[in-house]
């Protein structure tokens, strides 16, 4: 059976970590399509990883196997899990990385990966992507049932990231920064559908970020070059950009500041 195995990591391409991951998958499977979602998640940044994974999930072929590894707690007591969603299978650390994807693809069954029969013979304390997650994904692609991989868990026990939902009040919204993309655009956790339901009857709002009022428009070109603009981007989430520049640089935001950056709409 031809299966797609989709990969998302923070490994980058400077080292051979991605190649090692793929080599394990290729050596243990046949007739499988390996598909890179991204290996450019900022190192250890689960919020960015969760957002990026969520943006790809709707477009994957049904019954894909997703290997998602952003794992600053590798080798500690954090659990490794396999999750059967409505559409896809996920193999990942249980650290919140799947939080947003599983809202779109609700979990049906979860197991803790505690059966070493399905790991590589030697497991490094610092590279579970190669030694646990990749071989588990290969066994799933080869038809091994999820239940054989480990002990069952309650779906409600999966770790959830904090502050990935906007705070909706009658008079205002507080929305939290999820991701800074390669263009320096700032992407928040407010989805347009939620915003439209909240929108006052007169349709008049003020977007405030870093003590600056930002115009809410349709796209970047609706303001002059060098000016900031708020809009709902391709993922449906609220973004701030600076036309022909980097909003992250202009506002002094980097990927380490995601949990602290908030935007107000009144």
Query: What CATH number does the domain containing 54 carry?
Result: 3.40.50.10790
Residue 110 CA to residue 152 CA, distance in Å, equals: 6
Q: Which residue has the higher pLDDT, 254 or 16?
A: 16
139 and 201 in one domain?
A: no
For range 164-178, the mean pLDDT: 95
172 is written with which tokens? Answer: 């205002």
- This prediction has a pTM of 0.96
116 and 13 in one domain?
A: yes
Supply the pLDDT for residue 1: 56
141 and 104 in one domain?
A: yes
Q: What's the pLDDT tens digit per position in 11-48?
A: 999 999 999 999 999 999 999 999 999 999 999 999 99
- Is position 162 within any domain? no
Last residue of a domain, one of 157, 181, 202: 157
Supply the pLDDT for residue 254: 80
- Is position 187 within any domain? yes
88 and 182 in one domain?
A: no
**What residues does 7 pair with on adjacent strands?**
36, 67
Confidence of residue 258 (pLDDT cuts 50, 70, 90): low
Strands 80-85, 107-112: pairing kind: antiparallel
259 and 134 in one domain?
A: no
177 and 150 in one domain?
A: no
Query: Number of folded domains in the chain?
Result: 2
264 is written with which tokens? Answer: 């107000």
pLDDT at residue 111 greater than cutoff 80: yes
179 and 153 in one domain?
A: no
Supply the pLDDT for residue 263: 77
Q: What is the CATH number of the domain that holds 182?
A: 2.40.30.90
* Structural domain boundaries, residue 238: 167-265
- Is position 133 within any domain? yes
Supply the pLDDT for residue 61: 96
230 and 139 in one domain?
A: no
123 is written with which tokens? Answer: 């497991």
Supply the pLDDT for residue 260: 67
């Amino acid at each position: 059976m031809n299966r797609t195995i989709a990969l998302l990591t923070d490994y980058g391409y400077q080292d051979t970590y991605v190649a090692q991951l793929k080599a394990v998958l290729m050596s243990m499977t046949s007739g499988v399509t390996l598909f890179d979602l991204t290996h450019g998640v900022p190192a250890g940044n689960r919020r960015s990883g969760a957002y990026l994974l969520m943006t790809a999930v709707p477009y994957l072929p049904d019954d894909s196997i997703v290997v998602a590894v952003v794992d600053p707690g590798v080798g500690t007591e954090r659990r490794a899990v396999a999750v059967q969603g409505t559409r896809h299978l996920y193999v990942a650390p249980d650290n919140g990385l799947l939080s947003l994807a599983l809202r779109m693809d609700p979990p049906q069954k979860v197991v803790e990966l505690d059966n070493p029969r399905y790991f590589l013979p030697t497991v490094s304390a610092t590279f579970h992507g190669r030694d646990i997650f990749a071989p588990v994904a290969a066994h799933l692609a080869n038809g091994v049932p999820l239940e054989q991989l480990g002990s069952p868990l309650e779906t409600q026990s999966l770790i959830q990231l904090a502050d990935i939902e906007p705070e909706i009040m009658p008079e205002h919204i507080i929305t939290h920064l999820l991701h800074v993309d390669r263009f320096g655009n700032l992407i928040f956790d407010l989805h347009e559908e939620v915003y439209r339901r909240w929108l006052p009857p007169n349709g008049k709002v003020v977007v405030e970020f870093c003590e600056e009022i930002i115009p809410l428009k349709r796209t970047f070109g609706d303001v002059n070059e060098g000016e900031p603009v708020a809009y709902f981007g391709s993922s449906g989430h609220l973004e701030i950009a600076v036309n022909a520049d980097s909003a992250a640089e202009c506002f002094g935001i980097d990927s380490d500041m995601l949990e602290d950056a908030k935007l107000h709409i009144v």
